[in-house]
Structure 1
Amino acid sequence: MSKSTQIPVTDIILNEDNPRQMSEDKFPRLIESLLVFPKMLKTRPMVLDENGVVLGGNMRTRALLWIKDATLQQLKERLEAQSKYKNMTEYEQKQLIEFWQSWQARPKVYVTYAEGYTEEEKREFVIKDNTSFGDWDWNELANNWEPMELEEWGLDCWQPDKVAEGGDNDGSTGSSSEAGKHGSLSDKFIAPPFTILDTRQGYWRQRKAMWRERIADFGESREGTLADGETNCMATINNGVSLLDPVMAEIVCRWFGIEGGTAFDCFAGDTVFGYVAATLGMSFTGIELREEQATLNNERVEGMCARYICDDGQNVGKHIAAGSQDLLFSCPPYYDLEVYSDKPNDASNQPTYEAFLDILENAFANAIDCLKQNRFAVIVVGDIRDKEGYYYDFVGDIKRMFKAHGMPLYNECIIVEPIGTLPQRVQRYMRNRKVGKCHQNVLVFYKGDIKAIPTTYNEITYASEDLAAFGMDNNDTAE
């Protein structure tokens, strides 16, 4: 390779044999990415052969040719589509536009020449320059990078409706191999398997609506039990009650259940988890204290491989054999945030937080005995405040509880919930400087030898017929 030098962009010959292509919707994103970061052009020169034909940077050259002929209005429109430009000062925006106007008057780019390459080596270079052998650390991206920025830089974030499309492997767009791999994750995992789960995303909302329509559980049996409009357990507010999010239920079954296995919940509540688990081929047993709720649940799952038993969750061992279950999932009561009944053994109806915890620990200790070895328990919880306004550390208490009974914490996710009516309520909260809470915690515990997980659990797959069951496919748009 020679040292980089500048030549007019019009002197570059596009490589018409380059197999890397770019879709119409991604090409403007490449243009925008170049416009807001012109410094990159100097440190990432085009690679040409001795005849001036592009070996590396074909798409960038096309984008620069567009920029060369763009009007001032077109430049502004493309720049204004980028958050980086919007966050600039007025002076910085003016300087950037003036840079590109000056460049248009003398449109030169940095290039380097592949000297002494044979024709076969040129062909090899074209492919290898657009190939990535590495994998993105999606968890790192989710936690330390802004999705909007990643999208603008050309990396497809979690968008199930997007198909894998080509781009120029120049740092401005993601490689097609990576985009394809990432796109297929939506088929496998439903939502990105990161520590952050965002229920506000279009793909989540669309899937949730489809489940809701099928399940048709609107919390009729406990209308008006929810205090102060607060939510728990990935809740949808309906008739003054909180309902489990069915997409969360589906994720738990897919990620931590055994296909064709058994699942149970010692604080069953509504129908959602039992319905979802049975739909996905698992046999489900729920223990529900309130007779009217258990009866209603059984009516909804009639004909499915699911049953609800009316009893105290602390008695789960009387109905389920020890070491017989493949998955424990529960969203327990949040103390007195939502009082379900006036029964003396109702966890939500206890006079003290300590008495409430005693019931939960008895129930979960017995439930853990019902689990097989090398199995998961998934508990969805969120912290709650005492009467003075301080947090109890309910999440920490659940962690300590499970660890004391032989199931240490294995994963923890944060679920970001829809804002809903929080903006109205937070006006009142902030008088006491209480910030609005819009997340819950998913605690994943494991019983057994973690080295056995890869052999106990199959690789997650999500077949096209599963999508068809919801009347959707990979190309459905999640608005």
Structure 2
Amino acid sequence: MTNNSTDRFADEGLFDMTPKASNLLRERYTEPPFTVLDRKGKAWQKRDKKWKALGIDSELGRDDGLTFNMRMDFMHDAKHLASAQASSQTSIFSPTLCELVYRWYSAPGHRVLDPFAGGSVRGVVAGAMARHYTGVELRAQQVEANRQQAHIAGDVEPRWVAGDSAAVMPELAADGYESDLVFSCPPYAFLEKYSDDPADLSNMPYGDFLDIYRDIIRGAAATLADDRFAAWVVGEVREKGGDGSCIGLVPDTIAAFRDAGLDLYNDHILLTPIGTAAVRTPRQFDASRKAGRIHEYLLVFVKGDARKATAAAAGDFPESALDEDLADAEAAERGTA
């Protein structure tokens, strides 16, 4: 990234966070681009803190108790409960994850569409990285709170639209809006309730949720330019009642994107901070062998040609001799050097 008026990495303590021309994966790519990404790592946690130090407050606009912490009413140990609540990061989106998605799957100047915007973090990080972000969020209260933080992004301020994505996506497409990256984290069906609005997907039975969810994915995909990526953070959910089997949100998401014309390209496993799982897991595992969930998925899809999409997203990485070194090593092994 070059130093210019849209480069927030040149100041605010972020100047040392830019990728370097290096053979070390973390220096070149911010985090090693493996299929497993570890949010619990010290480097990741330190980076999240640097981002949040800019003033990002993604909790603004949310009702009190809108996290998995409120699901622990069975616990009687106040000390452990307070500790678990303090450490829980379930509902707060990681700014470092945003940074990785923008670096790996888009380029400065690209337009980012987020159909389930939620809090401010994805928009603020996009603006700070010179991406033009449009986020759609059902709750007007959340949109107003996000807009109050838009200035944190610097010269490229994010844009939030208050409305139902099921209606807004077709409107954007009809107006000729075209995105270079679709990036979002949808409600995990009924796992968390975000509002009492009947149009809120988190209030719906899973069958109704899935119908509208598929429509929104189809609408977002319709705005995406050819030869571009879409990144989707999603986790599995257990059914209400019955034996608590998984409802299949992850495979249903993959199917929805495929039906919208995108192919699954990367399936990163995102290891999340343990938080309350340490105190929830023994009870549920002893009772029913339900394992404590400490991961989500970052699913990456491609529309069109993956190599062309990669070329379009190549703007953030410095030149490096890494590929040449690997080629030389492989040639030496084959005896053709």
- State TM-score, norm by structure 2: 0.77
Q: Do the aligned partners of residues 227 and 456 (structure 1) sit closer, same or farther apart at CA in structure 2, a change above 3 Å counting?
A: closer
CA contact (8 A) 1:322 1:369 kept: no
CA contact (8 A) 1:225 1:241 kept: no
Q: State whether structure 2 residue 247 is matched by structure 1 residue 392.
A: yes
Aligned counterpart, 2:105 = 256
Letter aligned with residue 202 of structure 2: S
Aligned counterpart, 2:59 = 219
- Counterpart pick for 1:200 among 30, 36, 40: 40
Other structure's SS at 1:221 match:
coil
Aligned counterpart, 1:244 = 93
Other structure's SS at 1:362 match:
helix
State the 1:425 CA deviation.
Answer: 0.9
State the 1:360 CA deviation.
Answer: 1.0
Q: Do the aligned partners of residues 229 and 192 (structure 1) sit closer, same or farther apart at CA in structure 2, a change above 3 Å counting?
A: farther
State the 1:226 CA deviation.
Answer: 2.4
State the 1:228 CA deviation.
Answer: 5.0
Letter aligned with residue 232 of structure 2: I
Larger radius of gyration: 1
Which residues of 2 match residues 29-48 of structure 1 at below 5 A?
none
Q: State whether structure 2 residue 208 is matched by structure 1 residue 355.
A: yes
Letter aligned with residue 221 of structure 2: I
Q: Do the aligned partners of residues 282 and 460 (structure 1) sit closer, same or farther apart at CA in structure 2, a change above 3 Å counting?
A: closer
Letter aligned with residue 197 of structure 1: L
Q: Do the aligned partners of residues 409 and 319 (structure 1) sit closer, same or farther apart at CA in structure 2, a change above 3 Å counting?
A: same
Other structure's SS at 1:243 match:
coil
Letter aligned with residue 161 of structure 2: I
Which residues of 2 match residues 39-118 of structure 1 at below 5 A?
none
State the 1:250 CA deviation.
Answer: 0.5
- Counterpart pick for 2:157 among 293, 302, 305: 305
CA distance in structure 2 between the partners assigned to 1:367 and 1:262 by the alignment = 13
- Counterpart pick for 1:457 among 313, 321, 329: 313
State the 1:218 CA deviation.
Answer: 4.4
Structure 2 unaligned spans of 5+: 1-15, 72-84, 320-337
Q: Do the aligned partners of residues 395 and 450 (structure 1) sit closer, same or farther apart at CA in structure 2, a change above 3 Å counting?
A: same
CA distance in structure 2 between the partners assigned to 1:245 and 1:421 by the alignment = 17
- State TM-score, norm by structure 1: 0.55
Q: Do the aligned partners of residues 335 and 238 (structure 1) sit closer, same or farther apart at CA in structure 2, a change above 3 Å counting?
A: farther
Other structure's SS at 2:298 match:
strand
Other structure's SS at 2:148 match:
helix
CA contact (8 A) 2:61 2:119 kept: no
Aligned counterpart, 2:114 = 265
CA contact (8 A) 1:260 1:283 kept: yes
State the 1:238 CA deviation.
Answer: 8.0
Aligned counterpart, 2:221 = 368
Aligned counterpart, 1:331 = 185
Other structure's SS at 1:214 match:
coil
Q: Do the aligned partners of residues 428 and 239 (structure 1) sit closer, same or farther apart at CA in structure 2, a change above 3 Å counting?
A: closer
CA contact (8 A) 1:323 1:373 kept: no
State the 1:324 CA deviation.
Answer: 1.2
CA distance in structure 2 between the partners assigned to 1:238 and 1:422 by the alignment = 10
CA contact (8 A) 1:195 1:413 kept: yes
CA contact (8 A) 2:60 2:145 kept: no
CA distance in structure 2 between the partners assigned to 1:342 and 1:182 by the alignment = 51
Q: State whether structure 2 residue 199 is matched by structure 1 residue 345.
A: yes
CA distance in structure 1 between the partners assigned to 2:86 and 2:31 by the alignment = 22
Q: Do the aligned partners of residues 300 and 344 (structure 1) sit closer, same or farther apart at CA in structure 2, a change above 3 Å counting?
A: same
State the 1:451 CA deviation.
Answer: 3.8
Q: State whether structure 2 residue 126 is matched by structure 1 residue 285.
A: no
Structure 1 unaligned spans of 5+: 1-159, 162-179, 231-235, 464-479
Letter aligned with residue 220 of structure 2: A
Aligned counterpart, 1:188 = 28
Other structure's SS at 2:181 match:
strand
Q: Do the aligned partners of residues 434 and 395 (structure 1) sit closer, same or farther apart at CA in structure 2, a change above 3 Å counting?
A: same
Aligned positions, number: 279
CA distance in structure 2 between the partners assigned to 1:296 and 1:462 by the alignment = 36
Q: Do the aligned partners of residues 181 and 240 (structure 1) sit closer, same or farther apart at CA in structure 2, a change above 3 Å counting?
A: closer
In the TM superposition, what whole-angstrom CA distance separates every residue of 1:4-45 from its partner, at most 9, and x where no partner exists?
xxxxxxxxxxxxxxxxxxxxxxxxxxxxxxxxxxxxxxxxxx
Letter aligned with residue 224 of structure 1: G
CA distance in structure 1 between the partners assigned to 2:137 and 2:90 by the alignment = 16
State the 1:215 CA deviation.
Answer: 3.7
Q: Do the aligned partners of residues 198 and 404 (structure 1) sit closer, same or farther apart at CA in structure 2, a change above 3 Å counting?
A: same
State the 1:201 CA deviation.
Answer: 1.2
CA distance in structure 2 between the partners assigned to 1:181 and 1:188 by the alignment = 5
Q: State whether structure 2 residue 269 is matched by structure 1 residue 420.
A: no
CA contact (8 A) 1:188 1:460 kept: no
Q: Do the aligned partners of residues 252 and 237 (structure 1) sit closer, same or farther apart at CA in structure 2, a change above 3 Å counting?
A: farther
CA contact (8 A) 1:266 1:313 kept: yes
In the TM superposition, what whole-angstrom CA distance separates every residue of 1:348-398 from its partner, at most 9, and x where no partner exists?
111x10111112111111111111111111000010000131101110000
Letter aligned with residue 368 of structure 1: A
Q: State whether structure 2 residue 294 is matched by structure 1 residue 442.
A: no
Letter aligned with residue 408 of structure 1: D
Other structure's SS at 1:348 match:
helix
CA contact (8 A) 1:265 1:328 kept: yes
The alignment's C-alpha RMSD in Å is 2.4
